[in-house]
Every structure is written in C-alpha cells, then in structure tokens.
Structure 1
C-alpha cells in the first residue's frame, strides 16, 4: 500500500488498496516489459488459462489485458483526479505482481509518485503517463506478438476508464474534479490532430427487451472465440450473437 493513496480506497473501493506497491513489497513481480516478449507473453497466457493451450491467442490476450487495464486504471486515474497525485506508471519501469490465477494482481512502482505542481493542461497531459507511457507500449508490444486488433485492446482500456469516471460522477464528486476524466472520453482527437483511441468506448442503448438502456461497448473483446466463455453483459453482439456464442445469463 502506498500511504499517499490511502484516502482513496475505503468502502467499496477498499479491495484496490494493495494494487499499487513500492519496490519493498514482498510479493514476487516480473518486469512489465517481459510480458511483451514471445516467451513472456505465452507464459502469462498459459498461467492464466492452462486448459486453453490450443485456444485462440487473440481472445486469451484480450481477456488477460482486461484485468491489466482495470487494476492499473482505477488507482492511477482516481489518484490523479481526486488527489492530484501523479503515479509513475511508465511501462518500462513497472513491475507486475502476478496472482495465483495468472492475472495481474498489482503493480510495483519505482517510487510513490508526486503531486502535480500545477494543474495539468487538459486530459491528454493529465493522463499522458498512463496513455502514452503505459497503454501505448503495452498494446504495441502485444500486437507485435499476437494478431489482435489494436481497437480491441484500446476498447478494453476505454471500457474501464469510462466505468470508473461514471462511478466517480455518482459518488458524487465536484464536477470540476472529474472534468478531465470525462473530457478524455468525449474528445475525438488529440491536440496534435490524431485520433483519440479512448474516445466514446461505450454507448447506452435503448432496447425493446432485456436491460435498457444497456451500457454497451463499441468494440467486442472477442471472448466469444473461446467456447468456454459466454459473451460479456455489455457486448455489442448481445442482440445478434456470433454463431455458437453463448449469451450471459443476466441479459
């Protein structure tokens, strides 16, 4: 536990308190960069899903990345928006604590981070360490090993970012506090004119039957390629599932 983050993780968020750690944490960890080597990625996938040795690697890596994005996003974004605290999450200096289930359990940072000296100039500066320093090299490293679409992986990241910002808006927190979080997913282009891969990762769809409005991802995480898994509850294919796909029980 990083002491500066303690105010964030109470109540329903208490189980996130030990995700971010410092180098003296006794839990074993691997360099994040090992995950995007051929042997390292395969080892992670097999530790996560040993019964899927012949399973589709695109689906396996997508499912593994979902936990990676969720557990990295929640403390990093919450610390920035609520505490004004900048965590050092650069991919090349990050270590990943792997749980017994083969999934990312936490992260060791090189140091505890620091407070922003001045307010960041908008969402792309505020979240540059996360997006440019971590998500981009992680995603580029993964697609260099497995032919999974970048859109799938960025959608996994955006899905959890949007969920967290929506949850923070319901707490409620002052609107100004979460403004940069909302702006990141509502801005189509980055300041340099390039596409923002975090833009509108989900939509809220009115339906004739079932839950409505449905919080629905814009891009599928391709878990339907693993016959053992049902579609996600917010899958864009819920109303027209791919052949052979199983629907979740709650939709």
Structure 2
C-alpha cells in the first residue's frame, strides 16, 4: 500500500471543465448530462436545489442523533418484519452512500466542482412513505477548484462520511468498517466507470483514494483495504469486499454475488 502523495488535478486540455456559473441549473444531474451525455441520466434528480415531490428533508447532521436515525430506520425496516436490524441499517446506508458518493465524485471528476457536502451543509430527501434516501438537497452546485483528489474528496470523506459512520456505529451494532465498505463499493465503481465511459485519466486520478494508506494530514484512510482486486475462474477481474454488508440476511434481497466475502452471501 502506498502512502498519501500529491495528486494534482488533470491539466487543462481540449475538454475544459464547467464554469462556476451553473447557468440557472438546479440539478447536478443536468450539468453532468450537458457534460457527458445521457450516460449520466441516472444522476438526474439526485443532487438538487429544490425538494423533490413526495419527499421530506432531514438535515444530514441530524442523522448523528440516535432518536432521529432510529425513527427513519424503523420506518424503512417496516418492509422487513423480524429481520436482523443490522442488515436493515446497512441496506439503508447503501442507498444513502450510493447517491452521496456517486454524484459527489462525478461532480469533481467530470465538472471540477467542489460541492458543499459536509454534514452541516446538506439535507437528505427521504421518501415520505418508506424512508428510502432519494436525493440530497444542497444550497449550491459548487464551485470550480484546482485541487488534488484527496483535497477534492475531503468534504465527502472527512466532513460527511467519517462523522456519520462513527455516529451510526455508536447507536447501532454495525462496525464503522462495514459502513466504510458500503461507501467504498459505490465510490470505487463510479471512479472506474468514469474512466471507462469518459476518460481513463479520471480513473487514474481517483485511484489514490483507495491506494493511499493515509490521508495527506497523516490520518488513516479507511477506504484503503476495503476492496480486494480478484480474478474469477474465467479470468474476469472483480472486487471483493473485506467486510460483508449483510444484505443477504434480508428476505427477498439476496447477496452481492462474488463481491461478498462470505460464501453464503454469494448465493
């Protein structure tokens, strides 16, 4: 494993990043589609300046309070009566972290936009009926910056996921390693997908997020070691988690296939 190093943003070239002006756009997904086309249509409506229809908003910082978090998970868990609560909590965070990490990473990699994404700046938009995280409400679509990848992802990793994972772990029976694994799976996927679908340099830029054992300030990087590169019997490369997300414990959900570290989760 390497230690954190200075990874500068890609130099300006034939495809300049978006300007600071969002052109009146109120949806990050629309900016991504303007930049990269319909391959980013799945981002539409996920990071927005207006509350989506059918949703209620909760400040992300409030999720650090046990009462608030448990009320939301209880509502979500009604779909899984008598299920292992750890698995219910984990699955809820998979929805949360997928939307959070994928869109924040693309905002940086494709648009060079540093989003206001710390816990205190963001609200999660929940389905009123189920409590499923549907989107994030932000106060702006960010500003263009010239930063290295660790600096660019600092608000996401150090000011949002880190305190939230610690809080959730404190008032549930889920380890922070499991929660970081949930975030890592989606972040790793979108970094590699951006490299495949857009420019290989984007995947190379994001790789240190998982390769560097420590952050630039010397703090341990909890993303490092969460995923292990492997090859199946047909020579196809894949990533396997270090810690199981427990989703296989929920009825009608099933496991993660070869990604799961547990044999029972691969069925």
Aligned residue number for residue 104 of structure 1:
133
Distance 1:39 1:161 in 2: 28
- Deviates most, 62-71 or 18-27: 18-27
Q: Structure 1 residue aligned with 2:209, among 184, 187, 190?
A: 184
What does residue range 1-251 of structure 1 map to in structure 2 within 5 Å? Answer: 2=26, 6-9=30-33, 10-23=37-50, 27-99=55-127, 100-116=129-145, 119-120=146-147, 122-173=148-199, 175=201, 177-208=202-233, 212-233=236-257, 234-237=259-262, 240-241=263-264, 247-248=266-267
Cα distance in 1, alignment partners of residues 51 and 239 from structure 2:
40
Q: Could you tell me whether the CA contact under 8 Å between 1:20 and 1:75 is conserved in 2?
A: yes
Give TM-score, length-normalised by structure 2.
Answer: 0.79
SS of the aligned residue for 1:221 comes to coil
* Number of equivalent positions: 237
Structure 1: unaligned runs, 5 residues or longer: none
What secondary structure does 1:167 align onto?
Answer: helix
Structure 2 Cα separation of the partners of residues 232 and 24 of structure 1: 32
Relative contact order: is structure 1 or structure 2 higher (C-alpha 8 Å, sep ≥ 6)? 2
Q: Any idea what the Cα deviations from partners look like across 1:170-215, whole Å, max 9, x if unmatched?
A: 113151x444311211112222333211114322323348x84343
- Of the structure 1 ranges 130-139 and 8-17, higher mean CA displacement relative to structure 2 is found in 8-17
Structure 1: distance between partners of 2:138 and 2:65: 21
SS in 1 for 2:56: coil
SS in 2 for 1:89: coil
Judge conservation of contact 1:88–1:110 (CA < 8 Å) in 2: yes
Q: Distance in 2 between matches of 1:227 and 1:29?
A: 28
Residue pair 1:46, 1:52 contacting (<8 A) in 2 also: no
Please list every run of at least 4 consecutive aligned residues from structure 1 whose deviation after the TM superposition is greater than 4 angstroms.
23-27
